[in-house]
Amino acid sequence: MERMLRLLAPLSGRIAERWRLTEKLSKGNWNLVHKMIALYGEDPDMRHAKTFSADLISAIGLTVASAVLLGLLTGGDLYVTGACIACACLVPFVMFRRLDNKIQQKRRKLVMELPEFLNKLTLLVNAGDTVQGAIVRCAEAYSSSGTGGPLATELVMLANRLRNNESFPIAMEKLSKRCSSAEISVFTTTVLMNYRRGGELFVLSLRSLNRELWEKRKAMTRILGEEASAKLIFPMLLILLAVMTIVAAPAILLMD
């Protein structure tokens, strides 16, 4: 499916551009550009949003083509054709649902990674390093080890901006916008409000925030565990039915 979307991307991209689909999907409840920024970060050329629009056109086109083909193979069966056309109408909702799930997963990973980063930041600042220097050192550690998730990627981008002598408050505000997460917003606000004070007051504010984030991480871990357990219910029911069938089959055969 992904390969077909890439093959159709040039044609679908031109159609989406002609229909101004990206601009239309960026309004109202769809809010495509904002979601792409939340998932991929800053995108001045709207490259990711345009790619999504092209993929949407391709997916709808493939579904309609499948409906026509199945209609021909079934001798013009209206039920089959109608079902495929209904599926084509559901394609935008399915694709946006997948996009929302990706954004939610990214935000969850940010919540899971942020307390560990705050621990390192607090230790470095408490040891006498500046906030900017501590952030750059943490980003270098992530970059050299090749570990970390979305937060590590965002910190590397932030460190590059700071090395290029971008204003620290502006760089932190951009970080908050790119992540589009309440926890990151609280972190950037706390840092910007207290980093000029430095010393013990700044370290205390970081520790207080870190305690709150660890509690959120624990709550997030519980939620993920409950979701994993819920996903196992259906397979376990199938296994139970299979075992009951295997156990009961000989008895039923003997009764016959």
Query: What would the mean pLDDT of 144-164 be, rounded to a whole number?
Result: 87
Q: What is the pLDDT of residues 210-228, one digit of tens each?
A: 999 999 888 888 888 888 8
Using a 10 angstrom Cβ sphere, with 0-12 exposed, 13-18 middle and 19 or more buried, the burial of residue 29 is exposed
Mean pLDDT along residues 90-99: 93
- Which residue's entry shows tokens 């050299």? 144
**Domain definitions of the chain by residue range:** 2-103, 109-220
Backbone phi, psi, residue 148, to 5°? 100, 165
The mean pLDDT value for 36-46 works out to: 83
Over range 80-90, report the average pLDDT.
82
What percent of the residues of the chain are helix, what percent strand, and what percent coil, each to the nearest 5?
85, 0, 15
The reported pLDDT for the residue numbered 160 is 92
Q: How many percent of the chain have pLDDT more than 90? A: 35
- Cα distances from 194 to residues 18, 93, 213, in angstroms, run 49, 43, 18
Looking at per-residue pLDDT, the higher value among 211 and 80 belongs to 211
CA angle, 102 as apex, 100 and 108 as ends, to 5°? 105
Q: In this predicted structure, what is the pLDDT of residue 229?
A: 81
What's the confidence (pLDDT) of residue 29? 83
CA angle 225/231/236 to nearest 5° reads 115
pLDDT digit string, tens, across residues 158-206: 999 999 999 999 999 999 988 888 899 999 998 888 777 766 778 888 8
235-241 average pLDDT score: 85
| b/e 35-50 (16+ beta carbons within 10 angstroms → b) | bbbbbbbeeeebebbb
Category of 27 on φ-ψ map: left (φ > 0), alpha (ψ -120 to 50) or beta = beta
Q: Is the pLDDT reported for residue 1 higher than 70?
A: no
Write down the mean pLDDT value for the chain.
86
Residue 2 pLDDT class (50, 70, 90 cuts): confident
184 class by beta-carbon count within 10 Å (0-12 exposed, 13-18 middle, 19+ buried): buried
Q: Residue 56: is its pLDDT beyond 90? A: yes
* 28 — pLDDT class (breaks 50, 70, 90): confident
Residue 168: its pLDDT value, please?
A: 92
Rounded distance between C-alpha atoms, residue 116 and residue 51, angstroms: 34
User: With 90 as the cut, is the pLDDT of residue 76 above it?
Assistant: no
Asked if pLDDT for residue 58 goes beyond 70, the answer is yes
What is the pTM for the complete model shown?
0.80
